[in-house]
Amino acid sequence: MSEARTRLSRIVIWDFWPRLTMRRAAVVYFGLLVFAGLFAGLLWHLLSTPPNYMIGDDYSAIISEQGLSQVFAMDIWYLFIGMAVGLLLGAGGWGLFHKVGWPVVVGVIGGSLMAAVIAWRFGCLLGPRDFAARVVAAVPGDRVPMDLQLHSIGLLLVWPLAATIPVLGLALWNQFRRR
């Protein structure tokens, strides 16, 4: 049993880095996932502009039509970032684990979903928060920015979908190349 475990842990994962074992590749990929999630969250925070609510004379909060489109734009920025990062994570997962077989798809899907959640939560953490308290403290004429948040939670699934594209494409390419 221990001999099989030792043999399995010594499987060379990446052709270009022959000393990389399965365990080391998993640690490298986990670090890549965390870094990608944090970087994507920071990028989402920097690229998306939360809309402003204007505080009226009667202390009502009013948002313009352009502000409503900015709410949609926050989700679209997350979508584009998720597609790009998902493709990179899928390619990285294939590069590290392509000799493992079908479990690479499961690992890439789970890992990219984890990176998506990290990016979402980190971006929300960096963005403006506590909208209700800021609106209560505002005086007439103030502009209060909305919280940076994801309004469509289903966009988290874009990351795993994008990550499977390079995995499946490269698997198909390798199948044709072998023939």
Rg of the chain taking only CA atoms, in angstroms: 22
**Structure confidence by residue, pLDDT tens digits, 84-110:** 999 999 999 998 888 888 899 999 999
How many other CB atoms are there within 10 angstroms of residue 122's CB atom? 18
Q: What percent of the chain has pLDDT over 90?
A: 54
pLDDT above 60: residue 17: no
**Structure confidence by residue, pLDDT tens digits, 134-167:** 888 888 988 998 999 999 999 999 999 999 999 9
Three-class SS state of 52: strand
Three-class SS state of 149: coil
Helix H or strand E encompassing 43: helix 22-47
Residue 164 main-chain phi, psi, to 5 deg: -80, -20
